[in-house]
Amino acid sequence: MSNACSHTCPGYTGHLKLQVRDNGGGIRKSKLSDPQSLGLLGMRERAMLVGGNLVIAGARGKGTTVTVRIPVETSS
């Protein structure tokens, strides 16, 4: 990752963005804050541990999108 980031195009923001989408039923909003959703909680905690953030959005019948942004330091 460091090598890819150091050779990136102008306009690089210093963050790596990973986004995964599906075309399933869409996650329910109640699941996003459900304390029993340990997988979601674990993903959020891991993103925060590296200074990033996780956003999960879903629309009924239109799937779910999971986006994580983490800062990436480049070597000069």
Digit-coded pLDDT (tens) for 57-75: 998 999 999 999 999 876 6
Give tens-digit pLDDT for 29-66: 888 888 888 999 999 999 999 999 999 999 899 999 99
Q: Which residues of 49-62 are buried (b: 16+ CB within 10 A; e: fewer)?
A: eeebebebebeeee
The SS3 assignment for 46 reads: helix
Residue 51 has what pLDDT? 96
Q: Which residue has the higher pLDDT, 58 or 3?
A: 58
Task: Give me the domains of the chain, ranges plus CATH numbers.
Answer: 2-71 (3.30.565.10)
Least confident of 5-9, 14-18, 20-24: 5-9
